[in-house]
Structures are given as structure tokens and as C-alpha cells.
Chain A
Amino acid sequence: MRKLLTAISIALISSRAGAQGALSLQGLGYPPGGLSARAEATGGGVAGFDALSLVSPATIARAGSAALFLQYSPEFRRVTAGSSSAKTTTARFPLIVGVLPMGQQWTGGLSSSTFLDRSSETSLVRRQVVGSDIDTVDVTERSRVLGAINDVRLALAWSGSPVFRVGVGAHVFAGSNRITFSQLFPDSAAFISTSQSGRISFAGFAGSLGLEYHPSRAIGFALAGRKGGTLKAQSGDTTVGSARIPDHYSASVIYEGIPGASISARVAHDAWSSLGSLSSSNTVAFDGWDMGGGIEVSGPRIMQRLVTLRAGARVRTLPFGFNGEKVTETSFAAGIGAPLTRDRASFDFSIQRANRTAGGDVKERGLILSFGLRVSP
């Protein structure tokens, strides 16, 4: 009996959870970043001044009128490991923003963005001895995770003049990962395939502050920061882990001295390592820099609409490493923006080519398309 209990204990300890099948999906998942399609197209450079990006709560003061913004961002990903590869398609709705001016100086905003997306599915075939020593079968382990942690922000911004804007935000981080794990055996007459499912819920709070200063019409600066609170993970009524929501700081600059054009750049730091205590296996979280810049120019008139053309580049460290190494994402982006229906709506589109690597044999390339629609009722 003691041998039996020991064997079961060893089996329990040695089992692990987390087969995610991509560099960008390690740990708690991939951070889309809370950038609008416009900001993505400029490599994130304009995010510190963009009312529809969630980098700084001060930016909502730039909205001018009540607006509702929705973004759809599918990603076509290809992961290569040696001679093998996998192609996936992930459909995301990473951003929804509502902005409401309140008087001449105040603006309120409510938004939700995908903070960490963990949607993935993998199948792994393992040869196992089941029964006598010579009785081996191929067991297919199928793992499916759906869900994300979302950042819901309530923001309030003040703008006394076009020179200075300030805003504060209160964040609720909420979401869940629905996990299904199956072990499939080939012969149902002799073996019983197993399936488990579970749900991990996340809840946490954070606060943010943003400043925007334009000493002249040609140049502007922005600072933003988010201070994270505790993020708890629960399975049912049981708390299975807790960590701090990563602190985030960013600084941005924009130059609008060239008529019809703006050049912007942004540098940010995310203390992702604060999520390390939430990991239950060998996943390592790294603090990382996020740097990017881009240009936005007024383009040609198409169907009597002035189209804006954008381009940019970005490099950042993803939160969770692979095999103990940081995963770096380098992306190049381009996009357009066009007003619709007498400026009561606008459409933004961006295309990003992202390369991710952890310095080893595994490479990942993502093609991210973003479709953003802003409507002002």
C-alpha cells in the first residue's frame, strides 16, 4: 500500500500543465498591448498621444467628441522549429473604447483591452507503457486553452488648453482561462480516454496616470505610468496563485513641425517579472523594454477623403521566456486611416509583420491585421 501511495504521489508531482505551442504564448499568454490600429501602424510611437490607445489616460481628452471605437485584430502565425512548423489563426477583439466629453475641460472614458491572451491548442503524441512491460501505445495529449486576462479601465482626463492634459485611470483586470486536457488512447475497447476541464479566473486592480505637454505646436511630450496591484488567480473558490500586475512606464515624443506629417516615438518599460510568482512551472517572466516609432503623413484624396498613411517599427520583449531565454518581438507596420460619413466615423487599418525569437532554433512570424472603426454618434 505504501508503494502504491508513493507511486501516486510521484505521478502527481511530476505532472505539469502548460503546452502552448508558440513562443508568444508562453506563460500567461501574449500581450496585444492596448494599441489602436493607428498606433500599431506607427510602431506604437503615437500611442502616448492617441485617444483610442490605452497607454495614457490623459489622451482621452483629445477625443473632442463622444466616440465609440472597436478593433478587430486577427493574427496569422507561423511557428518553425527545425524542420517542423505550424500555422495558426487567432481572432482577437483586443480593444473597445468609449469616450464621453463632460463639459469643456473634462472627458471620461471606459475601455476594455486584452492584456494577456492565452488561446492555444496543441496535441502531443507520447509513447507510453500501458499494461505489461512490452505493451506500448501512442497516447495523444490534447491541450486546449481559451481565454484571456482583460484590462478594463475607467479614465478621467482634464485639459485646460491644448498645451497640457492630464488623466487618471482605474483598472480592473479580469478574465479567465478555460482549460481542457484530454488523453486519447487508440483502442477504446481496452483503454479509457480521459478528459479534464477546468477554469482559472483572474482578478486584480491597478491605477494609472498620464501627462501630456505641448510646449509648442511642433512638439509634444507624454509620460504615462500604471501601478499594479495584486492579481489573484482562482480555480473555483480556491486561490491558486497571486502576483502583482506589472508596473508600466512610458515616455513619448511627437514632432509635428512638418506640415501634414507627424513623427512620433515611444519607449516603455514593463515589469513583467512581477507575474513570475503566478507561474506554477518553469516559465520565467522577464522585465522588458518596448520601443517603437513611426511616421504619419496626410496622403492622397480618395473619393474626396483625405487618407492618412502610416508606417513604423517596434521592438519589445514579450513577458514570458522560452527555455529560460527572453522572447523578443520585432515588428514592422504600415497602415492607413480614412474619415467616413462626414467625419462622424473613421476607419483605421494596419498590417504588422512580427518576428519573434528566443535566440534558439525556434522562430515565429506573425502577420497581424487590425481593423478599427470609430463612430461618433
Chain B
Amino acid sequence: MKLSSLLLRSFATAALFLAVSSCSENLDSSGVCAVLCPPVGGDVQNLTLDAVVLDTTVQSLSGLGTEPVLLLASRGDTLETRVVIRFDSLPATFLPSGDTARPITSVDSAYIQLRIDTLNIKGGGPFTIEAYDVDTTANDTSTAAIIALFRPDRLISSQLLARAELRDTTKYFISNAAVLAKIQSGERLRIGLRVIGLASSSEIRIASTERGAPPVLIFRATPDTVTRPLTVVPLSETPADDPIVARALTDYTVIVTAPPGAPPGVLAVGGLPPRRVYFRFNIPSSIIDSATVVRATLLLNQVSNPSIEPTDTVLIVPELVLAGIAVTDPTKAAQITAELAGDPVKVRPGDSGLTNVEVARAFNVWRSQKPDTLPRAIVLRAVTEGSSPLEIRFSSSEDVSALRPRLRISYTSQVPLRIP
């Protein structure tokens, strides 16, 4: 090969390599920004406003039985709760293996399968769980009538369970005779559970229908093990005129004794019955419309609540109220919410002092909605709402000025993207 040809080919190769290597742009000259890049955005401005125009404690959930977790607790004079599970439709026949359907004439190995939150069991056990027949014609939502049925003549069964026997899926055996009697009489089987901690107080959390893992009744209609056991899911047929409430009442927690609620003028989150705090703000439109909010913090003064488990951690989350201006009742508005993506706030009931709740993401929605359409409101709720007696308390706007809820807003102004 001639030298000239070799030179030309080498040059062409080098040129091609350089051309290709320069095709991927790299414009980033951040390495010298300390000298060559003046700050573009302005400094973050911080403002603390007495922006709360309404703060009130409201009942959470939309009614009895809507809790995702059933709380079975016995903590002396402080807390006592029961759990009711309704099996309003029991099968009258069964299908033996390789045969035709037959009437159920016997019940064997009847148990209720419970999905238990084993990470949050309180008390070392052993636990005695009693089951009562709580079927009644009284008003469906009358807890007093239900509580009255936890009496000896209504006792169906009792089972002693050690702490180790409470597993994620626990079998609670009930009387075969009681189940058979209900089947043969065509009556409803409504079971009330009660826990008794023999050595200490007890607190057990059971997944509910709302969680998607309801307690189910399982039994054999024949001793023949080839035939599969029958599984009955909870069902409530009353109130017949309100299927939504009926569905909620398939399983629910009945509160017998609860810790004392917060005094008037104090905001309360969590507890039993569960509560939320509704805040409505008056935020200057100049901030929402003209500035870019990068952080917004609700500054709350926590009030100590030593009544129960004061050092346990409670997670609180802010939620954006989506209820429009037409919903004037804060209790109703506080049920129509959307999560604000963010970390829950960790607090302990016995603590006191300043608590920060980050709510900046609410401004993203408020910027696109006028205040006469969507009130600037948020709700604080406990993550374990309805399944924990722990209650967090805060000073309200009725308190002295220094302790009232305030809103601290950090914002930058829109940078004019213009000629340099």
C-alpha cells in the first residue's frame, strides 16, 4: 500500500472518529459554576401566617363498621372493645364428594379464620377469646344492645390462646352445636368476640372486610375428610333498606369503654371512636397565584395526652380535602379527601411542643382551583385510624396566640425566563 493512500485512510478514520464522538453533546459546564453562573432563582422567602380560619375535631370514617381493622381489646378500665361478625346466610346443604347435594345434619371442626396483625399485639398472653351469640332484632347500629348480649347465657365458646398461637392466620374454634342449630333453624349466626387477658391487658387487631381479608367461618358438614370443608363469608342482610351500611356491618368493632376524649378547645387525631382534625385556611392569592411554593408547613403545638400508651409512636398524615364549597359540614368534608404524597409525621401521645406537618403538595391542587370552588382545607388523620386507641392532641385556634396552629410558607418567585 502506498504511503499516500495510508495517510489518507488514517486521516479519514481519525476524522470519522472525531465526528462521531462529537455527536453526543455535553453542554454541562457546572464545574465552573461557582465563578461563571450567577444564581438564577431568587432566595427562598419564608412567611409564617395565622392562616387557619377554621379548625375542628370531627368524627372520622363514614359510619360504624367502615374500619379496615377490627380491634379486640381489654385494658381494664381504660379500653374495652368487642368484635361482631355477621354470618346472616348459612348454607343448608352440602355436596359430598362424588354424590348429590344433601341437607346439613352435622357440623364438625367449626372455626372462624382470623387474619391477625401479629406485629401489633399488645399483652403477653395467654388470651381467652370468648364468642357470644349477639343476634338481635334491635337497631343495627345500637352498640348498647349488642354489648348487653355478652352474657353467660349467650356464650357459644371460649378458647385459650397462648401468645405464640396467635399467628397471621389463626383458627378460633366455636361450638359445632351452635353452628348446626343456626343452620337447622334457618337463623342468622352473629358472633360477638371478646378477649380477656388473664395476666395482662390485651389488644389484638384483626383484618376486616374493608381490608379485603374478612374473618370466615369454616366447618365440615360430614366427618368424611374427602369432602371439602364449607367456607362461609360474612354477610349482613340488615338494614335491608341500606345495602352500604349493611355491607359495613358484616364485621365491626363495638366500643365498650374508651379513653376519655380531648377536652373542648383541643384538637384530637386518632383515638376511639376515631377522630380527625379539619383545617381550613385563608391563604393570600398572591402567594398561590404569583409565587412558587416549595415548602409549606403546618405548625402545631402538641398537647400531652398521657392517658394510654404515652410513649407509643403514632403516625399522622395530612390529606387534602376534595369536598367542594357546597359541602359545608366539616365532618362530611373531612371524609372526602386525597392523600398528599409525603412521609407521615411520627408523634407520641405523651409528647408536647412544636410539631411540623408538611403540606406543600396541597398547593399544587389549590393553584389550579379557585377558593370559591375548592376550599383550602386539609385533614389530619392517624394512619391506624379506627384500630388504635392512641390519641394525639393539638392546641386549637381558640388557644393563646403563641400556641395556635399556623402555616409557614416557603416560596420562590417565578423566574422570568428572558433574554440574558
Contacts and interface: CB of A to CB of B under 8 A. Distances in A.
A81 B30 CA distance: 11
B31 interface: yes
A181 B39 contact: no
Interface stretch (B84-92, B172-180, B283-291, B389-397): B283-291
Interface in B14-67: 15, 18-19, 22-47
A62 to B, nearest CB: 26
B295 A87 contact: no
Interface in B324-380: 341-343, 356, 358, 360-361, 363-364
Interface string B380-420: 00000000000000000000000000001011111111111
B44 A128 contact: yes
Interface in B182-232: none
Nearest to A29: B420
B294 interface: yes
A80 B283 CA distance: 47
Given A28-B420, A86-B32, A235-B417, A189 B343 contact: yes
Nearest to A118: B420
Interface string A119-142: 111111010111110000001010
A129 B411 CA distance: 11
Given A88-B26, A192-B360, A8 B32 contact: no
B292 interface: yes
Interface stretch (A218-226, A266-274, A295-303): A295-303
B142 interface: no
Nearest to B7: A302
Given A88-B29, A179-B417, A74 B18 contact: yes
A102 interface: no
A4 interface: yes
A124 B39 contact: yes
B248 interface: no
B418 to A, nearest CB: 5
Given A88-B26, A88-B28, A192-B361, A21 B416 contact: no
Given A5-B286, A84-B35, A17 B418 contact: yes
A371 interface: yes
A20 B40 contact: no
A119 B42 contact: no
Nearest to A9: B413
A132 B295 CA distance: 11
Contact of A200 (B295, B356, B414, B419): B419
Interface centre among A17, A185, A349 (most CB of B within 10 A): A17
Given A131-B46, A190-B295, A84 B31 contact: yes
A74 B16 CA distance: 12
Contacts of B137: none
Contact of B28 (A11, A122, A279, A301): A122
B18 A20 contact: no
Contacts of B413: 8, 11-12, 15
Q: Is the interface of B mostly helix, strand, loop or mixed?
A: mixed
B4 interface: yes
A130 B417 contact: no
A86 B417 contact: no
Given A141-B41, A240-B419, A123 B343 contact: no
A119 B420 CA distance: 13
A362 B46 CA distance: 36
B25 A240 contact: no
Size bracket of the A interface: 35 or more
Given A189-B358, A371-B15, A17 B291 contact: no
Contacts of B412: 11, 15, 183, 194
A1 B284 CA distance: 8
Contacts of B416: 12, 15, 17, 280
A367 to B, nearest CB: 9
Contact of B33 (A8, A21, A196): A21
Contacts of B408: 131-132
B5 interface: yes
A124 B286 CA distance: 28
A86 B30 contact: yes
A364 to B, nearest CB: 9
Nearest to B25: A91
A1 B285 CA distance: 11
A123 B32 contact: no
A183 B294 contact: yes
A243 B78 CA distance: 79
A237 interface: no
A130 B32 contact: no
Contacts of A82: 35
Interface string A156-172: 00000000000000000
A87 B44 CA distance: 31
Nearest to B4: A302
B27 A88 contact: yes
Contact of A240 (B19, B47, B291, B418): B418
A334 interface: no
A148 to B, nearest CB: 13
A76 interface: yes
A105 interface: no
Given A181-B415, A191-B295, A196-B417, A129 B25 contact: no
Interface centre among B29, B295, B343 (most CB of A within 10 A): B29
B47 A7 contact: yes
Contacts of B116: none
Interface centre among A129, A189, A336 (most CB of B within 10 A): A189
A4 B35 contact: no
A10 to B, nearest CB: 8
B8 interface: yes
B4 A141 contact: no
A283 interface: yes
B106 interface: no
Contacts of B43: 11, 14, 128
A342 interface: no
Contacts of A129: 44, 46
Contacts of B22: 74, 76, 89, 91, 369
Contacts of B361: 192
Contact of B18 (A132, A241, A361, A369): A369
Contact of B38 (A16, A118, A128, A240): A16
A18 interface: yes
Interface of B: 4-5, 7-8, 11, 15, 18-19, 22-47, 284, 286-287, 290-295, 297, 341-343, 356, 358, 360-361, 363-364, 408, 410-420
List of 5 A-B pairs having minimum Cβ-Cβ separation, nearest first:
A74-B22, A21-B29, A86-B31, A198-B417, A18-B420
Given A4-B286, A181-B417, 4 more contacts: A11-B42, A85-B32, A86-B28, A190-B358
